[in-house]
Structure 1
Amino acid sequence: MSFTIFRKRQWKVFAMLLLSVGCSDFGDTNDNPNASRVPVPFALLTEAITGVPSTEAGRSLRGGIAGIQTVGAPEPMLYVQYWSESQYPEDSQYSTTFALWDNYYAVSLQDLQSIIDFNTNEETKLQMSQFASNNNQLAVARILKAYLFWVVTDRWGDVPYTDALKKNTQPAYTPQQQIYSDLFKELREAGDQFDNGSMLGGDILFHEDAAKWKKFTNSLRMLMALRISNVDPGTAKTEFLSALNDDDGHIIDNSDNAFVAFLDDDKLRNPLHVLFDGRDDYGASDVLVNTLKDLNDPRVTVFVDPTESDEYIGLPYGLQRDMLIDWTNENEYSRPGSAIRETTSRGYILTASQILFAKAEAALLNWTTDDAADLYYAAIQASWNQQGVFDQDAFEEYTTQDAVEFTGTEEEKLSKIGTQRWIALYPNGTEAWFEWRRTGYPNLQPTPYAVNASKQIPRRYAYPNVEATLNKLNYQEASGRITGGDTHDSHVWWDVQ
């Protein structure tokens, strides 16, 4: 059986296997004494990575590290001006205030917590070891759980963490600084927890390669450290150097990139494909297209589709609906590139270019003695290689442009790192939004037709609207800690721009 066929069958079977995990509490009436009393962990792992296949036609994978709420989330892509809306511009005008977190807590995080619980419970850990080493199952689950909580806290700020996933219907919100501290601990311990035993199946991220999991772990630690560099530079530097110097290494080559290889299957396809399946709601933003064209950047051929007249034309960002209709009636515009939204297009979670840009920034901050320029150019080259557009002569011409060459003041160099990072992260709008909030680069301007109170690009999501009634006291306490209150204009702890 080919690997592709095996992987497709593996994806399709994991959701059905999940049905065996839970049952109603009718005592031992329906207990089969010969049946397993533990879940099938590889099904839980696959679902935590991908999210849940929708039961409705034309819907995306939800939750997960590669679902529509995380890497493929369209709203952050609008906030960082990768895309423009072509028909209904409300999100481009920042009308969305709150976002739900159900698919994180109730599905992906709960799946990972189940793996952790069953591998630590003395009554079930032996039975769980039939699937893989207990330590290796725990390590992988803790790493992905930390990654998902990192995304969740950077979306909302203070969130249920310490009290979460404990069958507590009214969990307290943990301050974000405390969450970061614990995530660093979790990743350090998880990276050291791997043993020489077997790895867990269902791993569609690194295919049971422990060495790649360890590199991924250290890479996450480095990015997390840089995220808090403006608000806690001492901890940031310590954690960054600890991860950088770890003997297990980190991602510096595209062969170690973390990505999901989606399938040519209606329920298991790239979530971005769903957004364009029978719909035409998004165009490539003029901000992105003009940036790529001004730099003569060959990635434009991957990131953007040409128009019928074989031109790359961006759709103006943030127009009001009547203005938008008038403009689109009179003009051609490019759609986001087919290469990044095909059914089988890869969903990148973390790449070599991200880590190389992080190392370049750390060198510029004098955290290391590395050459920031070398790392910066290596990061751009890694991105070009990732997208299949690298040519040595074109690269040399590109990197000697005034807007790209690593010259100028420290602030100008940070700006160049930020702009090139923004380009390389495409189409991971979620991570680009987080990094833009941290650095202020590139210098994105809000739409002049913004409808939110600040008239600025949103800085977070407001808490799910049901929290004010279902978890009222804890919601009120957490909201009271936010300067400006629970709005999408308020800033999270590390966002001091």
Structure 2
Amino acid sequence: MAFVAGMAAFFVSCDKGFEEMNTNPNAVTEPVIESMFSTNILRTSGTDFESHRTNLIYAGAMIQHFASTTTYWSGDKYLFNDQYSGAFYVRAYPDQVKEIEQIIAEVQDNPEQINHYAITRIWRVFIYHRITDLYGDVPYSEAGKGYINQVYSPKYDKQSEIYPDMLQELEEAALALDATKASFGAADFIYNGDTAKWKKFAYSLMLRLGMRLTKVDPALAESYVKKAIAGGVMQSNDDLAKVPHTDGPEDINRNMVGRQLITQEIDAANLKGKANSKLSKTLVDFLKNNNDPRLPVIATLWQGNADESKLATSTAPALQKGLPNGYDATSIRTLIPTWGVTDSLPLYSEPNIHTVASSEAPTILQSYAEVELLLAEAALRGWESGSVVDHYNKGVTAAIQHMNLYPGVTIDAAATTAYLTAHPFVGGSMEQQMEQIHTQYWVATFLNSYEGYANWRRTGYPALTPTNYPGNETGGVIPRRLIYPQSEASVNSTQYNAAVQQQGPDLFLTRVWWDKQ
């Protein structure tokens, strides 16, 4: 017994300090909130996967910013491709959502991190609103809680419940921001920890989401639009929400929309104009016919993309030609009989990879131009005391001037003034004014087709002519949402089936809650 007792005492004494001795002093034992937030911003601004498949191939083509003669550009032809339609969903939840929910769990009960919590709540709304705008009813209240609360089969919340909660989150977070306390600082790639700018972003996002409800719940829309205006929205291009990028060694540092266009879709030096991605005739014609100073910033012939020294010639407005939507390399001959007789595709315009589509271009999440154009609509509805014309002019001016954020671009104020002088806001009926406002919104959201697609579904402007490619999923109607990834029907089958029962068939033409006819 004495031996046993002695051995016990030996082991107890040996255990003292054993845990400390076997702890790696270089290991991270607590989440580094700042690093997590930085990474989350970059992931949310887009990776190759969803930026390419969702923002360009589906949304960008459906609203006719882009066109292609290839069939894998599914949005151009209303074809279903599970990997593309589900791309945003399968990337957003494990990356954007899981991480933002963990950050919130870490900071929400710490009074010294009140700004971290408020900013994270605002950013969380930005993440979720993109998901629900694309798919409708989606996991929200239980999403990203697998590690935190062991919720592994999250329910799909109704969009009619998600939207009011997001608006309330923005309101509470904006009011909670405290300029006297610390925030994320340099870890915040959007506003560098500036709480005043985050407050403007919160109210500007509230304006965006409030206006989304004009058809389905006008009273709630008006209430939150007025709250947003009273709270203080963006006042200039200095306030717009953007993620800066550098063409660094790691892909995460780059603008992924630009990266995909440069390397996969255009590859100008090798393809010599025979690229998969071209600018849509709808977009190019609008810019060209209106002598828009943005055209040479957005569009070029392939020679300029292959050799930057040739941009001065290859961006000449008179040379730009947009590709018609909804055709493949064979069927386009029914529209253009000479197609293929000559080398046709290289004659069509590509997005300029040295400016707007550069891998060093900023990712614009919400622009001041969008805010002013939404304020023009608010004034039109009598929800804002300002002038419709004044807000419209400020919106168009901001949209043209924010082109100067892109590499090598200088559009002077005189060019903007000349454009507005030649194309003044002409007024007219409610619908005529809405068309003027939201056609400009459509141009202003080029390369942010998530938002362009959502706003087009709400307003119907610009009036796009649908395509009717053989075998399409909609009978020649522009899709109203994306289809959930097919994996959801097996990995989260009970909740998926319940969502389909409450929202409607999991099809392109099933409208999300706010997209009321």
TM over 0.5: yes
**Contact 2:71/2:77 (8 A) holds in 1:** no
Other-structure match for 1:454: 475
**Contact 2:279/2:350 (8 A) holds in 1:** yes
Separation in 2, partners of 1:53, 1:355: 19
How does the TM-score come out when normalised to structure 1? 0.84
Separation in 2, partners of 1:254, 1:394: 17
Separation in 2, partners of 1:108, 1:352: 24
Separation in 1, partners of 2:397, 2:411: 7
Other-structure match for 2:293: 298
Other-structure match for 1:342: 358
Other-structure match for 2:15: none
More helix by share: 2
Q: Secondary structure at the match of 2:120?
A: helix
Separation in 2, partners of 1:349, 1:321: 34
Separation in 1, partners of 2:91, 2:490: 19
Q: Give the number of equivalent residue pairs.
A: 449
Q: Cα distance, 1:348 vs. partner?
A: 0.5
Separation in 2, partners of 1:327, 1:137: 57
Query: Structure 1 residues 221-230 or 81-90, which shifts more?
Result: 81-90
- Give me the CA root mean square deviation: 2.6
Other-structure match for 2:331: 323
Find out whether 1:197 has 2:176 as its counterpart: no
Find out whether 1:465 has 2:465 as its counterpart: no
**Contact 1:84/1:282 (8 A) holds in 2:** yes
**Contact 2:297/2:403 (8 A) holds in 1:** yes
How does the TM-score come out when normalised to structure 2? 0.81
Q: What is the 5 A alignment of 1:228-247? A: 228-246=213-231
Q: Secondary structure at the match of 1:433?
A: helix
Separation in 2, partners of 1:434, 1:29: 56
Separation in 1, partners of 2:339, 2:329: 10
Q: Cα distance, 1:436 vs. partner?
A: 0.4
Distance 1:460 1:235, change over 3 A: same
Distance 1:68 1:112, change over 3 A: farther
1:111 partner amino acid: E
Find out whether 1:358 has 2:374 as its counterpart: yes
Other-structure match for 1:4: none
| Gaps in structure 2 of 5+ consecutive residues | 1-18, 268-274, 304-312, 405-409
Match 1:76 to one of 43, 49, 59:
59
Separation in 1, partners of 2:467, 2:452: 18
Q: Secondary structure at the match of 1:359?
A: helix
1:139 partner amino acid: A
**Contact 1:53/1:62 (8 A) holds in 2:** no
| Gaps in structure 1 of 5+ consecutive residues | 1-26, 55-59
Match 1:158 to one of 127, 137, 151:
137
Match 2:507 to one of 482, 487, 492:
487
Q: Cα distance, 1:306 vs. partner?
A: 3.5
Separation in 1, partners of 2:450, 2:236: 22
Separation in 2, partners of 1:44, 1:232: 36
Match 2:156 to one of 157, 167, 173:
173
1:287 partner amino acid: T
Distance 1:238 1:277, change over 3 A: same
Residues 230-261 of structure 1: CA distance to partner in whole angstroms, max 9, x if unpaired?
11000000011011101xx2112001111111
Other-structure match for 1:46: 38
1:109 partner amino acid: V
Separation in 1, partners of 2:425, 2:474: 38
1:318 partner amino acid: G
Percent of aligned pairs with the same residue?
29
Separation in 1, partners of 2:22, 2:377: 59
Distance 1:343 1:453, change over 3 A: closer
Separation in 2, partners of 1:73, 1:254: 24
**Contact 1:89/1:321 (8 A) holds in 2:** no
Separation in 2, partners of 1:165, 1:330: 49
Query: Structure 1 residues 236-245 or 82-91, which shifts more?
Result: 82-91
Query: Structure 1 residues 375-384 or 200-209, which shifts more?
Result: 200-209
